[in-house]
Amino acid sequence: MTLEENKKLVLDHYEALYRQDAEAVGKQLSADFVDHEAPYGSMPPGPDAVLRAFESVLRAVPDLRVKVEDIVAEGNLVAVRGTWTGTHKGPLPPLNLPPTNRATSITGMVFWRIRDGQIVERWGNLDWLSLQKQLSAEA
């Protein structure tokens, strides 16, 4: 795949997750996909675990979206620097916070490794401390 095709795969993956499109996610992620920085802790490999984890994210922040600030591809890696925004409407497991109905915004970087037209690994570094401060602060 070309660098542009790799970038498109990653961008399409974000959209498929938001739609909870199991068929698309199953095609985008390899059966042995590993998320090295899963926000909910260790996950088994593969697309099914990703869909289950992201489903809980969408229950917590149903309007979650990422604004891709930068996307860079080199070799079989794609790097995304983004801003994630949404409204905290449900329990958010990694922070153990009840819903606040507050608008949130965090930044971070995610690296994706591509093999044979599928995503095989993800490393993420999101500003969870900033999110915790936004949701814990007195209104």
Buried b (16+ CB within 10 A) or exposed e, 13-48: bbebbbeebeebbbbbbbeebbbeeebeeebebebb
Query: What sections of 1-139 are H helices per DSSP?
Result: 3-19, 22-28, 47-60, 128-136
Structural domains of the chain ordered from first start: 3-136 (3.10.450.50)
pTM for the full model?
Answer: 0.88
pLDDT computed for residue 53 by the predictor: 83
3-state SS, residue 33: strand
Query: What is the residue-wise DSSP string for 45-79?
Result: SSHHHHHHHHHHHHHH-TT-EEEEEEEEEETTEEE
- pLDDT number for residue 119: 98
Q: Is 51 exposed, middle or buried (0-12, 13-18, 19+ CB in 10 A)?
A: middle
Q: What is the pLDDT along the chain (139 residues), one digit of tens a residue?
A: 999 999 999 999 999 988 889 899 999 999 999 998 866 667 788 888 888 888 888 889 999 999 999 999 999 999 999 999 999 999 877 677 889 999 999 999 999 999 999 999 999 999 988 988 888 865 5
